[in-house]
Amino acid sequence: MADALPALHEEASNRKDFPISAAAMKLEAYLGKENYQRVPLSRSSLGHFHTPGSLNGHPVVVLIDTGAASTVVDLGSARDLGLTANKLAVTGGGAGGASLEIYDLPNAKLMLGEVKPRPRALLAMDLAHVNQALAHRGEGRVDVVLGADVLEIQKAVIDYGSSSLFLKQ
């Protein structure tokens, strides 16, 4: 199979409909041309991706969770930062949380460095169960879970090779 790779590369490079030239383009450069911004990630000992972020200018720890439907701020963190939290009529949950109260954070601004994620709505809920599970496995606490809403809306690309998240702006 390895012997066939140079021939396949040459064939692909000679195709007129192939989007990348024969000179291998780096993923970051290609995505940059497509209006993506890079968010550097760090990987925990459990394999979870994290990134530093900010909520209304205050530093927060963000966990990237492709299995979470929504982007959620820990309710305790939201209260500590003095964010307005409006209780919603619905409840929700996730891994280990059965029926938790959900709050809307209408004035909260989440940033990942210079990159602005665009969640459907920035919500808050008690993430104690998440942080307890992480602590049980030797991990630090998180303030925000970045969910599939942002990943879908901004056509996310996660590059494991460079530990990077790319979000289309």
* 63-83 pLDDT tens trace: 999 999 999 999 999 999 999
Tokens matching residue 156: 């996310």
User: Lowest mean pLDDT: which of 8-12, 59-63, 74-78?
Assistant: 8-12
Cα torsion angle, 115, 139, 43, 158, sign:
negative
Lowest mean pLDDT, pick from 22-31, 71-80, 135-144:
22-31
pLDDT tens sequence across 87-127:
999 888 765 556 899 999 999 999 999 999 999 999 999 99
CA dihedral for 29, 34, 35, 36, sign (positive or negative): negative
DSSP 21: -
Q: Give the pLDDT band of residue 152 (cuts 50, 70, 90).
A: very high
Mean pLDDT over 9-21 rounds to 53
Token digits of residue 16: 């007129």
CATH number for domain 35-168, candidates 2.40.70.10, 3.90.1150.200, 2.30.30.90, 3.40.50.300:
2.40.70.10
Beta strands in 65-108 (DSSP E): 72-74, 86-94, 97-104
Burial (Cβ within 10 Å: 0-12, 13-18, ≥19) of residue 159: middle
Cβ 142 vs Cβ 63: under 8 Å: yes
Tell me what pLDDT residue 37 has: 97
Under the phi-then-psi rule, with left for phi > 0, alpha for psi from -120 to 50, and beta for the rest, what region is 80?
alpha
pLDDT at 53: 98
166 neighbors 36 (Cβ within 8 angstroms): yes
This prediction has a pTM of 0.83
Closest CA to 62 of 78, 49, 75: 49
**Annotated domain spans of the chain:** 1-27, 35-168
Look at residue 151 and tell me whether its pLDDT is greater than 90: yes
